[in-house]
């Protein structure tokens, strides 16, 4: 298999299923050029994609190997575990899910057929007509080093104190990898009295409205939740901007090294 496994299977939600049936929904990318660009980013990253096969609860993984816009198709690798390929030979459509910069996306592939590429069996499918991409951001999130920025907050729904570590952060929100205390956290909850310690040793206090909750990539018993800051004062926003700029410079230095 090509690429590095970064994320685990995430069961599709009822909301996502309804989105997949609504092609005009704003959570979709439908422009053909943007679809090609986004798939190219997946290839260049390259994360493994989760494959969902109808009437099967097993998680399978693959990588997108090539995109051929002139033919309107893409090529993806054989599935792991390998017994998924037998199932794939019995259907002509499937769903792929993956992440780009911590943002979940998914799409349907149709007219799946087998191909040969460098003496290996691979699969070809039509380019998707739309991509479910509900968390596009004008403010990019910066991934942090694990366990470097601690998080503390309280669930408004349950009153339970929550602890974890910041997975990524932007000027408008962040994503937290919760310890077991976050197992009951749900999308739509508001976390109050939140505290994180930014790299410049500034303690940042805020409330966080959760937009998405999923299983952690590190431990299926843990949860990862993303949301948006509420009611930041201009002074707090300025300090946050400075901290984000510092993180961006750190990442640039790491890439150069």
Q: Which CATH class is domain 14-132?
A: mainly beta
Q: What is the mean pLDDT of each run of 10 residues along the chain (257 residues)?
A: 34 44 66 93 80 84 93 93 87 86 83 85 94 66 69 92 88 84 77 86 86 68 82 83 77 63
Q: Are 255 and 143 in contact (CB under 8 A)?
A: no
pLDDT value, residue 254: 66
Distance between CA atoms of residues 253 and 69, nearest Å: 35
User: What pLDDT is attached to residue 90?
Assistant: 86
What pLDDT shows up at residue 76? 94
Q: What pLDDT is stored for residue 198 in this prediction?
A: 77
The total of other beta-carbon atoms located within 10 Å of residue 205's CB is 11
**Sequential DSSP letters for 46-92:** -B-EEEE-TT----EEE-EEEEETTTTEEEEPPPBSTTHHHHHTT-S
Q: Residue 5: what pLDDT?
A: 31
pLDDT of residue 10: 37
Query: What is the token pair recorded at 54?
Result: 């109808």
For the chain, give every residue range classified as CATH 2.40.10.220. Answer: 142-256
Residue 208: which H helix or E strand, with range? strand 203-215
Burial 54-84 (b: 16+ CB within 10 A, else e): eeeeebbbbbbbebeeeeebbbbbbbbeeeb
Q: Residue 116: CA atoms inside 13 Å, Cβ hemisphere, count?
A: 2
Residue 195 confidence (pLDDT): 93
CATH 2.30.110.10 domain extents, the chain: 14-132
The pLDDT, as a whole number, for residue 58 is: 82
Architecture category of domain 142-256 in CATH: Beta Barrel (2.40)
């Amino acid at each position: 298999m090509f690429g590095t496994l970064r994320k685990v299977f995430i069961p599709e939600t009822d909301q996502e299923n309804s989105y997949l049936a609504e092609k005009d929904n704003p959570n979709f990318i439908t422009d053909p050029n943007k679809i090609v660009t986004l798939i190219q980013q997946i290839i260049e990253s390259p994360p493994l994609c989760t494959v969902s096969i109808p009437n099967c609860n097993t998680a399978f993984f693959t990588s997108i190997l090539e995109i051929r816009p002139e033919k309107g198709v893409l090529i993806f690798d054989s599935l792991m575990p390998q017994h998924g390929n037998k199932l794939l030979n019995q259907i002509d459509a499937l769903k792929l899910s993956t992440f780009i910069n911590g943002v979940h996306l998914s799409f349907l592939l149709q007219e799946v057929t087998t191909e040969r590429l460098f003496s290996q069996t691979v699969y070809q499918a039509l380019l998707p007509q739309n991509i479910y991409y509900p968390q596009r951001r004008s403010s990019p999130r910066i991934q942090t080093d694990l366990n470097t920025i601690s998080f503390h907050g309280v669930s408004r729904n349950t009153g339970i104190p929550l602890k974890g570590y910041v997975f990524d952060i932007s000027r408008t929100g962040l994503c937290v990898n919760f310890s077991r205390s976050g197992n009951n956290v749900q999308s739509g909850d508001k976390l109050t009295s939140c505290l994180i310690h930014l790299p410049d040793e500034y303690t940042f206090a805020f409330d966080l409205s959760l937009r998405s909750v999923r299983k952690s990539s590190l431990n299926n018993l843990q949860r990862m939740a993303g949301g948006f800051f509420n009611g930041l004062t201009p002074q707090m926003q300025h300090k946050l901007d400075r901290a984000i700029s510092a993180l961006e410079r750190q990442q640039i230095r790491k890439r150069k090294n």
